């Protein structure tokens, strides 16, 4: 009887872990030798902007692979590429954290010029002149553990 209880408790703990969100992290942009190096992501009128100042949004990757921001909104990847804020109902799925970096499906992040600012956008390009790495940085300055992609 004791063995059976232990098995059920272990299974419940594993199920609980599988349904948890990632650790909370800050979105720190990494692009050496550019104006975007150590930039962060900020909401501006529903758009997500790459801005060279601290205190941007923090986020978690939810168990259903949506990116939920600290202001309660979710990331929505538009058909043309820019990432905007939206609700849980229209949030894009496919986000994950690997090797300390935020990832989206098999696409890369990039800063897309929009007037006098830069939108956070996604692109199929892997060209290092275009790609923007987003480090998933925890409160102590390290990176969060991988939050596996659900294939």
Q: Residues 26-39: pLDDT tens digits?
A: 999 999 889 999 99
Radius of gyration of the chain (CA): 17
Q: Provide φ and ψ at 138, rounded to 5°.
A: -85, 180
**Does the residue 71 lie in any domain?**
yes
For 54-80, the pLDDT digits (tens) are 889 999 999 999 999 999 999 999 999
Joined together, the tokens standing for residue 87 give 């609700």
Domain span including residue 105: 25-137
Check: CB of residue 98 under 8 Å from CB of residue 109. Answer: no
**Does the residue 75 lie in any domain?**
yes
**Does the residue 12 lie in any domain?**
no
Q: What domain count does the chain have?
A: 1
CATH classification of the domain holding 86: 2.80.10.50
Return the bridge partners of 96, or none. Answer: 103
**Does the residue 112 lie in any domain?**
yes
For residue 21, count CB atoms less than 10 angstroms from its CB and return exposed for 0-12, middle for 13-18, buried for 19 or more: middle
The model's pTM:
0.84
For 79-134, the pLDDT digits (tens) are 999 999 999 999 999 999 999 999 999 999 999 999 999 999 999 988 877 899 99
**Does the residue 107 lie in any domain?**
yes
CA–CA separation, 142 vs 89, rounded Å? 31
């Amino acid at each position: 009887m004791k063995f059976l209880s232990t098995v059920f408790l272990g299974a419940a703990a594993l199920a609980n872990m599988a349904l948890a969100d990632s650790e909370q992290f800050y979105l720190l942009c990494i692009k050496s030798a550019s104006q975007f190096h150590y930039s962060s992501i900020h909401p501006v009128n529903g758009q997500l902007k790459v801005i060279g100042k601290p205190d941007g949004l923090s986020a978690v990757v939810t168990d259903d692979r949506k990116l939920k921001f600290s202001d309660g909104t979710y990331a929505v990847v538009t058909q043309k590429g820019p990432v905007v804020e939206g609700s849980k109902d229209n949030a894009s799925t496919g986000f994950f954290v690997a090797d300390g970096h935020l990832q989206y499906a098999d696409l890369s992040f990039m800063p897309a010029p929009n007037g006098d600012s830069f939108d956070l956008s996604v692109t199929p390009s892997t060209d290092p002149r275009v790609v923007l790495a987003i480090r998933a940085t925890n409160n102590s300055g390290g990176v969060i553990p991988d939050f596996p992609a659900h294939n």
